[in-house]
Structure 1
Amino acid sequence: MKSHVSLTALAVALLLGGSLPAQAQFLGIGQPGNGVILLAQSRLRFRVPRVRASGSLRSGAARGNCHPDGKPILMVPLLPMTQANGEIQLYPGTTASEHPRFFVHIPETTAQEARFMVVSQTQRQVIYEESFSLPGTSGVVEFRLPDTTTPLAVGESYKWSVELVCDPVDNSGNVAVEGIVRRVEAATHWEQMPQSDRPLAYAQADIWYDAVASLAELRQTQPNNPAWKTDWRDLLQSVNLNAIADEPLVSCCQPKNTTSQLGVGGN
Structure 2
Amino acid sequence: MSNRPGKLLFAGLMGLALAFPFGISPSHGSTPKSSAQLIALKFPQANSDRGQTATSGGGGVRQTSGGSCLTKAKLPFQLLIPGDYNQGSGFHNTASKETFIYAYLPPQPGLTAQVQLADPITKEQNQTTFTVPKEGGIVRFPVSLPDNAMEDDFYNVTLTLICDANNTQDNLTVELTVNYTPLDQPPTNADSSLAEAAFYAEQGLWLDALNALAAIAKEEPQEWQEFLESGGFAAWAEAPVVECCQMVNTSALAN
Same topology, TM > 0.5: yes
Cα distance, 1:201 vs structure 2: 0.8
CA contact under 8 A between 1:81 and 1:241: conserved in structure 2? no
**Any idea what the Cα deviations from partners look like across 1:192-214, whole Å, max 9, x if unmatched?**
32133110110111011110111
Instruction: Tell me how far apart the structure 1 counterparts of residues 109 and 232 of structure 2 sit (CA, whole Å).
Output: 27
Tell me the amino acid that sits aligned with residue 75 of structure 1.
F
Equivalent positions of 1:46-125 (< 5 A) are: 46-47=43-44, 53-56=59-62, 60=66, 64=68, 66=69, 74-81=76-83, 92-125=91-124
**Any idea what the Cα deviations from partners look like across 1:224-264, whole Å, max 9, x if unmatched?**
x3xx2112112212221111111111111111114x2x4xx
Tell me the amino acid that sits aligned with residue 140 of structure 1.
I
Please, what is the CA RMSD of the aligned residues? 3.3
Q: Kindly tell me: are residues 38 and 240 of structure 1, through their superposed partners in 2, closer, same or farther at Cα, counting changes over 3 Å? A: farther
Cα distance, 1:123 vs structure 2: 3.0
Q: Kindly tell me: are residues 155 and 131 of structure 1, through their superposed partners in 2, closer, same or farther at Cα, counting changes over 3 Å? A: same
Equivalent positions of 1:22-41 (< 5 A) are: none
Q: Kindly tell me: are residues 58 and 200 of structure 1, through their superposed partners in 2, closer, same or farther at Cα, counting changes over 3 Å? A: farther
The structure 1 segments of at least 4 consecutive aligned residues displaced by more than 6 Å after TM superposition are 35-40, 69-73
1:188 equivalenced with 2:188 (yes/no): no
CA contact under 8 A between 1:135 and 1:253: conserved in structure 2? yes
**Any idea what the Cα deviations from partners look like across 1:46-101, whole Å, max 9, x if unmatched?**
2489xx9313457845xx4x35x96799421111115xxxxxx8964211101212
Aligned match of 1:5 = none
**Any idea what the Cα deviations from partners look like across 1:7-51, whole Å, max 9, x if unmatched?**
xxxxxxxxxxxxxxxxxxxxxxxxxxxx889696552012489xx
Instruction: Tell me how far apart the structure 2 counterparts of residues 216 and 71 of structure 1 sit (CA, whole Å).
Output: 24
1:215 equivalenced with 2:217 (yes/no): no
Cα distance, 1:113 vs structure 2: 1.1
Q: Kindly tell me: are residues 121 and 243 of structure 1, through their superposed partners in 2, closer, same or farther at Cα, counting changes over 3 Å? A: farther
Aligned match of 2:52 = none
Aligned match of 1:19 = none
Tell me the amino acid that sits aligned with residue 119 of structure 2.
S
- Secondary structure in structure 2 of the residue aligned to 1:188: coil
CA contact under 8 A between 2:65 and 2:171: conserved in structure 1? no
1:242 equivalenced with 2:230 (yes/no): no
Aligned match of 2:130 = 132
Aligned match of 1:154 = 151
Tell me the amino acid that sits aligned with residue 80 of structure 1.
P
Q: Kindly tell me: are residues 37 and 59 of structure 1, through their superposed partners in 2, closer, same or farther at Cα, counting changes over 3 Å? A: farther
CA contact under 8 A between 2:22 and 2:202: conserved in structure 1? no
TM-score by length of structure 2 reads 0.69
Cα distance, 1:124 vs structure 2: 3.3
TM-score by length of structure 1 reads 0.66
Structure 1 unmatched runs, 5+: 1-34, 83-88
CA contact under 8 A between 1:60 and 1:173: conserved in structure 2? yes
Instruction: Tell me how far apart the structure 1 counterparts of residues 209 and 129 of structure 2 sit (CA, whole Å).
Output: 26
**Percentage identity across paired residues of the two chains:** 23
Cα distance, 1:167 vs structure 2: 1.8
Q: Kindly tell me: are residues 72 and 116 of structure 1, through their superposed partners in 2, closer, same or farther at Cα, counting changes over 3 Å? A: farther
Q: Kindly tell me: are residues 59 and 250 of structure 1, through their superposed partners in 2, closer, same or farther at Cα, counting changes over 3 Å? A: farther
- Secondary structure in structure 2 of the residue aligned to 1:250: coil
Which of the residues 170, 175, 181 maps onto 1:173? 170
Q: Kindly tell me: are residues 155 and 180 of structure 1, through their superposed partners in 2, closer, same or farther at Cα, counting changes over 3 Å? A: same
**Any idea what the Cα deviations from partners look like across 1:147-196, whole Å, max 9, x if unmatched?**
8x545432022222221112212312211223222111223241232133
